[in-house]
Amino acid sequence: MNDPQPASSTALPASGKATTEVDLSGRQLGDFRLLRRLGRGAMAEVYLAEQCRLQRRVAVKVLKPELADDRVYLQRFQLEARAAASLIHANIVQIYEVSCVDHLHYIAQEYVQGQDLHEWMARHGPPDLAHALSIMRQVAAALAKAAEQGVVHRDIKPENIMLTPTGEVKVADFGLARLTREGEANDLTQVGVTLGTPLYMSPEQVEGKPLDPRSDLYSFGATCYHMLTSSPPFVGETALGVAVQHLKKQPQPLEMLRPDLPASLCRIVHQMLAKDRDKRYPSARQLLRELRRVQIEHFGEEWPEDLPGWESLAAEEPPDPRAAATQELAAAMRTMALTRPSRLAKWLLAAALVTACAAGGAAGWLTMVPPSLLTDVKSTPAPFPKQSSVWRQWYLASQIGTEAAWQSVIDYFPDQQYVARRAQEQLALIYVHDGAYDRAMDIFEELAALDDEVELKAFGLAGKCGILSLRGKYQESAAVLDQLLPIRDKLTSQAMQKFVASAAKKNRSKLGPQTGKDWDQWLEQQFGDNG
């Protein structure tokens, strides 16, 4: 969410009288001390708070005081709490308490550290296949749980999908949720519950028709389309213009915009975007099954059953005579599939570094990347335990983030060459962070020599350039910069781009102009600054 806006702005409540909004930071609501305002919406404001008894950070959503006397608004606020509180799931933001203190109605909920998908996409662009499947799996798991409890979210969009640095995904904001269990339906149309967000709204939602979980699948399909192409399926100058397109227009085929994506994944997204809800997946669980098939097809590995939000669907599926053949094919593809550039490590790297690097170029890596934003490097008394698959090993390493954890990926799965090299990238970052430049340089030089893996080569050259500049070897650093120039477009990580930009600026301050116009133009395009 955005930082607090000035507290002096005015709002127009249901009564039509203007009121001055008050920043409640510093107030105590029951067991919760409000620390600072995180953001605001039409109905409520959200604060970062501390739960005193448990000494943990939480998010507290406070209904705007001027709306508390309006029965309909209060009913809608309580409905949100009721809908969300019924959903206990790893991929859904959890509700801790609903109460009222001094006429202030509030919901205390889980505080998710990280970025929402919209913010993440603005910084990184479309995720690679592995990351996209992980996000889709976890959101689908959340929607499956909501459907089981008779809850339709009604406002699935990138801003309501939270991404944590460890790779977890959590669906937030059931502010438009509707309970669909018999006897509990409540539309509250008089306060605009049916509005949703036009960019991701299902056709039946546009028409004001009754909704069911398949409406959430449409909105999720529109969100996935945006995630994979950097643009929603439909855009227009007005909300009405966008809404009409959801009713009548077909989105441009995903295969044309992203020919690098599996055709099976493109079909999944377009099926979610079917105008007729009967032609969409009947449930989020069926969507999960289809996503699992794509995972096996392209990576040769199942998702570990103990990953956040994953629930095994094997018991629900009817016997499939093709199952044995599929498993044999998956085993045969395992090594081959993992040698293709999935760029899985790229998003983990960016999630840890981009916040520190976004402030601008710095003279050295250590000033660009504070220890708290990289990885908490701790020694482990015993070797990191081996997991049952390379992806499980990778996932746990990304959570723990120690040298031993990343080294375990390399030691236990040396035959999975591409994944092992991505683990080397993480080790290099740890070594740089610790000032072990010799060890980091060994890895950077090895990666820089990989002519058949251009992305890894670009990463290695960027690392060499940065370390040489840190060591004051500006001429050598500038020479490496020249080697990177022809493949600069393969350096897709914004964090590493910032690292190179910092080294280039440092070199220039010591040596004068050393790079060609093409490189200067690239720096200006990326960062708006060529000097």
Q: Where in the chain do CATH 3.30.200.20 domains reside?
A: 10-110
- Cβ partners under 8 Å of residue 517, min gap 6: none
Distance of CA 220 to the CA centre of its chain: 14
276 DSSP 8-state letter:
S
Residue 519's pLDDT is what? 57
**8 secondary structure, DSSP code:** T
Beta-strand pair 178-179/161-163: unpaired
| DSSP structure string for 274-290 | -SSGGGS-SSHHHHHHH
Count of all residues that appear for the chain in the document: 531
Q: What is residue 319's predicted lDDT score, i.e. its pLDDT? A: 40
**Is-catalytic flag, 70?**
no
Identity of residue 135: I
Phi and psi for 106 in degrees, rounded to 5? Answer: -145, 155
Instruction: Look at residue 216 in the predicted model and tell me its pLDDT.
Output: 96
Distance CA 478, CA 473 (A): 9
The domain 115-338 belongs to what CATH superfamily? Transferase(Phosphotransferase) domain 1 (1.10.510.10)
Backbone phi, psi, residue 420, to 5°: -60, -40
3-state secondary structure at position 47: strand
How far is C-alpha 461 from the chain's CA centre? 28
Which residues, at least 6 apart from 68, have a Cβ–Cβ distance to it below 8 Å? 74, 103, 104, 105
pLDDT score for 492:
62
Mean pLDDT by 10 residues, the chain (531 residues): 38 42 88 91 85 92 82 72 77 87 89 91 90 94 91 91 89 61 36 59 90 95 97 89 91 92 95 96 95 88 58 44 36 32 36 34 35 35 69 72 86 85 86 84 92 86 89 88 83 69 79 59 55 41
CATH of domain 344-527: 1.25.40
Parts of the chain belonging to CATH 1.10.510.10: 115-338
Instruction: Go through 129-146 and write b for each residue having 16 or more CB atoms within 10 A of its CB, e for each that does not.
Output: bbbbbbbbbbbbbbbbbb
Contact partners, residue 156, CB within 8 Å, separation at least 6: 139, 143, 171, 200, 216, 219, 220, 223
Residue tagged active-site, from 116, 155, 173, 216: 155
| CATH code for the domain defined by 10-110 | 3.30.200.20
